[in-house]
Structures are given as C-alpha cells and as structure tokens.
Amino acid sequence: MRKWGISVIVFLLGTHPLLAQVDTTEVDLNHLPAPRLFQIACAQCHGPDGRGYPDGAWRELTALRVPPPDFTDPLFSSLEPLADWIGVIREGGKPYGLSIQMPAFGEALSEEKIRELAEYLKSLGADPRYPPGELAYPRLLNATKPFPESEALWIVWQENRPHRPTIRKATLYWAQRWGPRRQWELKLTPEWSASSYEALEVEVGFKQALAHSLSAQWLLSAGLEAAFYLKGNEPWSLQPYLTGIKGLGERAALHASLRLLYEPTSEEPALLRWVLGGQLLMANRARLLAPAIEWVGERALASGAPLHHRLVPQLFLTPPRRGHVALALGVEFPLHRQASYRYRLRGFLLWEFLEGPFWEGW
C-alpha cells in the first residue's frame, strides 16, 4: 500500500489553504477514483474543473510561476500524446522541460492510477474531430506533413551542380492551426546563385485532415498550395496534394504523398510528384531521434518525359527536453542519368510555438 510521503503533504498544504481541510495522512490515494483524486492532489494548481484558472486568477490563487494548462481545451488536449502526460504525472515536469512546480507522483501513485488520471484529464478535453498528437509524426524533408500544425520553420536548400554556380534557397515557413482539422500556411523563399539574389517565391497553402484512426495509427490529409514569384521569371503554380501517414507500432512509420504541380503558363504544365518515406522513431521521453529515407519520383504528365527520381537519407532530432524545437538534415541524390545537379543539401529548424517560447524547456 502506498501512502503519501510527508513532504508531499506538507508541500500540498502549503500550496493552497483549502487543502488544509483534507486529511490525507491516512488515505491511500490509489483507492480513490480519478476524478476524486484529481480534486485532492491536482486541483489546487490545475483548478477544480481542470481549466487551470484561464481568467488569470492562478496568480492570486496559486504560488505558480507559469500558468497551468487548460485540460478542457480540445486543441491543447489533442496535441499532447497520452504517454507524455503519463510520464509527466509519474516523473514531474522537469524531465519533460516543463515547470519544476509540476510535482512527480510516481512514488505516491501506482502506474495504473497514473494512467487512469491521465485518461481522465484526456476525457475533459476530448473532441473526436481533432486528430490526436500521437499521429504528429516527425516531418520529413519532402513528404508533406499530414498533421495540421502550428509551427515555424527555417528551411535551407542548396543545389550543387557540375560546372555551374551553386544555388541556395532559405525559406521562412509559418503554419497555423485553424479549427479542429485545418491549417493555413505561408512560405517566403528568396533564392541566391553565386551570391546574387535571383528570385523571391511566395507560397500560400491550406490543408485539411480528412480522416484518421488512433488505434490503426493513420492520418490522411489533403491540401492546396499556390506559388508565385515576386522577383524572378518562374511561372506561377497551383499544387493540390494528398498526403498520409501510417504508424507501424511504436518505432516506425511510413509516409506517402502525391502532389500535382500545375503551371498553366509553362511548356510542361503538369508534373506529378510522389514521395514514399520510411522512418524510425527513437524516443526518450519527449525527445526524439528519427532517421528516415525518402524516395521521390517526378514525371511530367503531357510529354511522357522520363521519370526523375532521387533518394533522400535524413535525420530528424529534437534537442530540447520539451521536444518543441527540432532540427533535420539530409542529402538528395539523383538516381537518374543526366541529372542537372550532383546532390542537394536539405535541412530545417522547426519550432512548435504553441508549446512555449523557443528558448524554454531545454
């Protein structure tokens, strides 16, 4: 039978005057149902309804230095994998890059009780329209990410060509959740060649999650992007796409996307591009290391020009404990003859801004 440690009780009594009325000394918390346990052990910081005092009253009512989250918010609730919440309740906030004021309950509560509490918290914000965060597999360099995200990326791209100057692009990319299943995005891509500024591409996009299943680990989305040049002579384009993900157990995932690049004003108006990717997932709490390989194929639809394809080995990693900042690096090798380039270096730096400031949680 596990009992509360004296230090936890003293700590809790100190956090909120209401708790002084609860005699926890001889209660085995593991016998309480999750909602009751929440009231005794969690509500003084998370609020009696799990909303964490969204009116800002947490400043007066608690001794917290960061606002506790609103567990009834379906967006917040859907984004956090259940396993992470179980981990935070067991080990406390610190190993997850969260506030050290979130205590560890692994000593006081059984593993089953912790899971029950985490599931209870999930039920507060449950809304089946929102795709669950478990399906937000790490972004690959070519396949379009199916999960609707709120994140900012800095994407770099360099093409090394035989006997010609290297081309460099750096994209600023901003994606924002919009409702339960949608996302809009904006990309700005300046392009340099031999240190002269050649072009500026602007792209706006929209994505919608079509269907998903958490138990079968898949998510399918569709989207449309429009790209045009503010500087440079490239034609404008419309790009409808379908993209999906299928998890294979805990440690692997398959990515696939199919995109039509439609350039009404160019000689080759329609190009089909498909991407197949395999990814391994090595997780340590919220931190992740994910090596992957993609096969990218491209074919012009009208002329029946030969298939162009390439292989892209790559690595994705999240250095901070909170897992909200990630880095990816990869190389593209052309597999067809007469490729116009030797190889391309690709990479991005990613920040999920809903998870907090860039510099916190390392």
Among the residue ranges 38-46, 164-172, 255-263, 298-306, the one whose residues contact ligand HEC (CB under 6 A)? 38-46
Would you tell me how many other CB atoms lie within 10 Å of the CB of residue 38? 20
d(Cα 196, Cα 227) in Å, to the nearest integer?
22
Q: Which is nearer to ligand HEC, 60 or 267 (CB)?
A: 60
Site for ligand HEC in 108-167 (CB under 6 A): 117, 121
Q: How far is the CB of 10 from ligand HEC (least distance, A)?
A: 12
Would you tell me how many other CB atoms lie within 10 Å of the CB of residue 16? 15
Q: Which is nearer to ligand HEC, 102 or 292 (CB)?
A: 102
Q: How far is the CB of 39 from ligand HEC (least distance, A)?
A: 10
Q: How far is the CB of 120 from ligand HEC (least distance, A)?
A: 8
DSSP structure class, residue 56:
T
| Radius of gyration, alpha carbons of the chain | 24
Question: Site map for ligand HEC, 297-336, x if CB under 6 A?
Answer: ----------------------------------------
The dihedral region occupied by 301, where left means phi > 0, alpha psi between -120 and 50, and beta the remainder, is: alpha
Q: How far is residue 343 CA from its own chain's centroid?
A: 28
SS3 179: coil
Instruction: Work out which of 41, 141, 261, 312 binds ligand HEC, going by CB under 6 A.
Output: 41
Would you tell me how many other CB atoms lie within 10 Å of the CB of residue 56? 9
CB environment 243-259: b (16+ within 10 A), e (fewer):
bbbbbeeeeebbbbbbb
Would you state the structure tokens that stand for residue 245, as one six-digit string? 């993900």
Q: How far is the CB of 270 from ligand HEC (least distance, A)?
A: 44
Question: Site map for ligand HEC, 57-96, x if CB under 6 A?
Answer: -------x-x-xx----------x----x--xx---x---
Look at the block and give the residue holding tokens 């997780």.
283
Instruction: Work out which of 47, 53, 77, 103 binds ligand HEC, going by CB under 6 A.
Output: 103
Q: How far is the CB of 114 from ligand HEC (least distance, A)?
A: 8
Q: How many Cα atoms are found within 13 Å in the side-chain-facing hemisphere of 321?
A: 15
Q: How far apart are the first and last CA of the chain?
A: 36
Q: Which is nearer to ligand HEC, 114 or 140 (CB)?
A: 114
d(Cα 186, Cα 225) in Å, to the nearest integer?
9
Q: Which is nearer to ligand HEC, 214 or 293 (CB)?
A: 214
Sequence-distant (6+) residues with CB within 8 A of 29 are: 2, 4, 37, 40, 41, 108, 109, 113
Q: How far is the CB of 153 from ligand HEC (least distance, A)?
A: 22
Q: Is residue 15 within the footprint of ligand HEC (CB under 6 A)?
A: yes
Instruction: Work out which of 53, 70, 77, 102 binds ligand HEC, going by CB under 6 A.
Output: 102
Task: Say if residue 163 is exposed, middle or buried (CB neighbours under 10 Å; 0-12, 13-18, 19+).
Answer: exposed
Look at the block and give the residue holding tokens 């901070």.
320
Instruction: Work out which of 105, 173, 241, 348 binds ligand HEC, going by CB under 6 A.
Output: 105
Instruction: Work out which of 45, 136, 227, 253 binds ligand HEC, going by CB under 6 A.
Output: 45
Q: Which is nearer to ligand HEC, 64 or 312 (CB)?
A: 64
Site for ligand HEC in 191-210 (CB under 6 A): none
Among the residue ranges 40-48, 248-256, 270-278, 296-304, the one whose residues contact ligand HEC (CB under 6 A)? 40-48
Q: Which is nearer to ligand HEC, 83 or 289 (CB)?
A: 83
Q: Which is nearer to ligand HEC, 80 or 191 (CB)?
A: 80
Paired sense of beta strands 252-262 and 237-248, if any? antiparallel
Q: How many residues bind ligand HEC (CB under 6 A)?
A: 23
Residue ranges in contact with ligand HEC by CB under 6 A: 15, 41-42, 44-46, 64, 66, 68-69, 80, 85, 88-89, 93, 98-99, 101-103, 105, 117, 121
